[in-house]
Amino acid sequence: RGMDGWLELCAVRKDGIEVPVEISLGLLEAAKGRLVMAAIRDISQRKGAEERLRERERQLSEAQSVAHLGSWSWSIADDRIEWSDELCRIFGRQPGDPPGDLAAYLALIHPDDRPDAAEVIRAAHDTGKGYTFDHRIVRPDGTIREIHSRGQVVLGTDGEPISMTGTAQDVTELREAAAA
């Protein structure tokens, strides 16, 4: 019998330096009785990589916030959309609350711009080519914002689209300044 999984602990090396480790324990029935087996592995490199990844994610989130630029991905096979927290904010939604699927996303686009947006997405899907287009959105509170969208198609090994990724930037203030 053994314990399921690994337990993270802090170990102290002979030189007194603490290092993060994972430990797994197991019991072994032997002729002389039960033996406890332990497997210990140093996870310093993994912990360091995780910390660097968290820092990069924080930097990306801050940069998106400053630029009013959000990122998105759409898994075509299961019609699942994921948005960055900044893109949720641009659309007036709570961070972590993307629209879910393509139909829900299209419902957020201004009704007058919705047919063009649907056509741009369809054309990109059918041709495998990226796109750039501008459109308006309607936030849940009724506010209308102008968005500059860019997207690209990710093709599978068979040449068929498997996903689309891109960015959307709130350019409302830029357009208002240019008009003034």
**Per-residue model confidence (pLDDT) at position 4:** 64
**Half-sphere exposure at residue 121, Cβ-oriented, CA atoms within 13 angstroms:** 20
Among left, alpha and beta (phi > 0; psi -120 to 50; other), residue 168 is beta
- Average pLDDT (3-15) is 85
pTM assigned to the model: 0.70
CB atoms within 10 A of CB 69: 19
Residue 165: beta bridge partners? 73, 152
Q: Where are the beta strands (DSSP E) in 16-160?
A: 18-30, 33-42, 69-75, 80-83, 131-138, 144-155
Q: Is the pLDDT of residue 92 over 90?
A: yes
List all residues 6 or more positions away from 37 whose beta carbon is below 8 Å from its beta carbon. Answer: 2, 25, 26, 27, 28
**Per-residue model confidence (pLDDT) at position 2:** 47
- Average pLDDT (152-158) is 95
**DSSP designation for 98:** -
Sorting pLDDT into bands at 50, 70 and 90, what band is 3? low
Q: Is the pLDDT of residue 119 over 60?
A: yes
The mean of the pLDDT values for the chain is 91
CB atoms within 10 A of CB 63: 11
List all residues 6 or more positions away from 151 whose beta carbon is below 8 Å from its beta carbon. Answer: 121, 124, 130, 131, 164, 165, 166, 167
